[in-house]
Amino acid sequence: MAHTGRHERPGHPEQPGEEITFQKKERAAIRGQEINDSLNINSIMDIMTILLVFLLVSITSDPWNVKPNQYLQLATSTVDRPPEDSLAILVTKRAIVVDNQDTVPIECMTAGGRQCRSDDDYRKDGNRYFIDKTYKEDGAESSFLIVNLLKKLTDKLDYAKEVHAGANPNEPFKAITTIICDRDIPYRVIAEIVHTAGNAGIDQLRFAVMRNSRR
Amino acid sequence: MARKPSSASHSDSGGNEELNLSPIMALLVILIPMLLAMFNFFEVKVQAVAAPKLGTGKTSKTDPDKKPLNLTVLISKQGFLIKQQDELTDAQEKPIPKDTFEIEVVEATGVTTKTAEDYDYPSLYNRLRAKKQRYPEETTINIAAEMDIPWHVIARTIDAARIELQDPSFEGRERMKKYMASEPVMKQSKKDIDGDGAVTDSDVEPVAMFPRVVFVVAED
């Protein structure tokens, strides 16, 4: 049986004054031991090095390493199709991002009809998200074509075609885009993005979702 | 503290002194939590969707005997409405309104049961499964939604239409719980699903219902 209490040890001083002195001596002895004996950390080093390499490989090899935040929460689905190599369009609560650049801002109005300003506003339910008409074709509210996004996608697609033609001249080019969309983005914005992507020449669409075993 | 040269040269450490791993350990202790914070503990998958059609459009098929079913799920704030080619002019299908369900929510503190109004996905699945049994050749489903319906509702609607589940139908007050936990019907695949280089008995895939999803936008 392991004894942990000092009073249980044989020959331990019983007087309070003596006890304090003994404690001091005991601590000093432990400290001295710590200093003199080198700690064998080789095993921990091995584990940590393996863990580090594993994490580095996992993070760098996964192009769909989407980090959720308050502006981007993915919808859940039981779908089991892995992401493909494609042009990613990130749709957060604040902007449409292509190639790590904010291409078109997304407007947010609270349920009270006020523009979202603080982070707390974005957390509330009942917000309305939309794209301002100034970013649409002819500045028309009813238009589904987002001009800035169309230009950006066309440029990206032209570049991708050139790269593909150089690398695989015999294979036909597949214009695929993966839309990584926040769960609260309304159908109107999605339809506008999809329509614009279609106009840019993208014919295959994928929507990123978070895999969930429960539907 | 600086040592005298003589004492340094006569120290007994020599070549036997162990490498001081403490700074490397300190670096790793910082790096690993940082990488763990960057690491995603969920899987990102993709749902394929065909480009949207504006308006009802004209069919490209020329065979008059083989009309497309044009099965469409309309998502509104009140619930779902299913339509198909012969019902587009006069609504015959009963709408599937929202309902109140008891849903188990997994939180950090444990599993809690919440009562909330939600779309009736189990009833939608029942109807779509009946449609699939009636039209087994049909693989396309049109999804149309009111303009302010959020993406997560559309994603769950696609989920209800995509694959066949083991339970033939979901009825009663507990139907949402049963639907959420239901497993898909699996079949032998012709493709190498598990990536072992050969098509074996272990290569199984879910039985599809309406795997081809098309977004439809009604013109004003």
Place of tokens 């039981």: A78
Band the pLDDT of B102: cuts 50, 70, 90: confident
Q: Which residue has the higher pLDDT, B149 or A168?
A: B149
- Considering only residues 179 to 208 of chain A, which have any Cβ-Cβ distance to chain B shorter than 8 Å? 181-188, 190-191, 194-195, 197-198, 202-208
* A22 pLDDT higher than 80: no
pLDDT at A2: 43
Q: Which residue has the higher pLDDT, A154 or A69?
A: A154
pLDDT at A5: 44
**How far, in Å, CA of A111 to CA of A132, rounded?**
18
Question: Which of A177-181, B8-12, B48-52 has maximum average pLDDT?
Answer: A177-181
| Token code pair at residue A178 | 């993966």
**How far, in Å, CA of B96 to CA of B105, rounded?**
24
> Which of A41, A67, A215 is nearest residue B179 as measured by Cβ atoms?
A215
- Beta B72-75 vs B44-54: how paired, if at all? unpaired
**How far, in Å, CA of A212 to CA of B43, rounded?**
8
Are A205 and B49 a contacting pair at CB < 8 A? yes
Return the minimum-mean-pLDDT range out of A6-20, A56-70, A104-118, B129-143.
A6-20
Are A41 and B215 a contacting pair at CB < 8 A? no
One-letter amino acid at B184 equals P
**How far, in Å, CA of B164 to CA of A12, rounded?**
75
SS percent in chain A: helix, strand, coil, step 5:
40, 20, 40
CA distances from A174 to A84, A177, A199, A204 (A): 11, 10, 15, 8
- Mean pLDDT across A206-213: 88
* Cα-based angle B153, B159, B161 (whole degrees, multiple of 5): 110
* A182 pLDDT higher than 80: yes
* A159 pLDDT higher than 60: yes
Give the distance, in angstroms, between the CA of residue A190 and the centroid of all CA atoms in the same chain.
Answer: 20
- Considering only residues 99 to 128 of chain B, which have any Cβ-Cβ distance to chain A shorter than 8 Å? 121
SS3 state at A4: coil
CA distances from B144 to A203, B14, B52 (A): 19, 79, 9
pLDDT at B57: 46
| Token code pair at residue B177 | 């719980």
**How far, in Å, CA of A205 to CA of A197, rounded?**
9
Are A84 and B181 a contacting pair at CB < 8 A? no
- The ipTM is 0.77
Q: Which residue does chain A place closest to B17, by CA atoms?
A: A38
Domain ranges in chain B are: 68-191+201-217
A41: chain B residues, CB-CB within 8 Å: 21-22, 25
pLDDT at B199: 74
A128: chain B residues, CB-CB within 8 Å: 148
pLDDT at B204: 84
Taking one residue from A and the other from B, the number of pairs with CB-CB distance under 8 angstroms is: 165
Are B217 and A181 a contacting pair at CB < 8 A? no
pLDDT at B146: 94
Residues 6+ positions from A75 with CB-CB distance below 8 Å:
A181, A183, A209, A210, B151, B152, B154, B155, B156
- Mean pLDDT across B87-91: 54
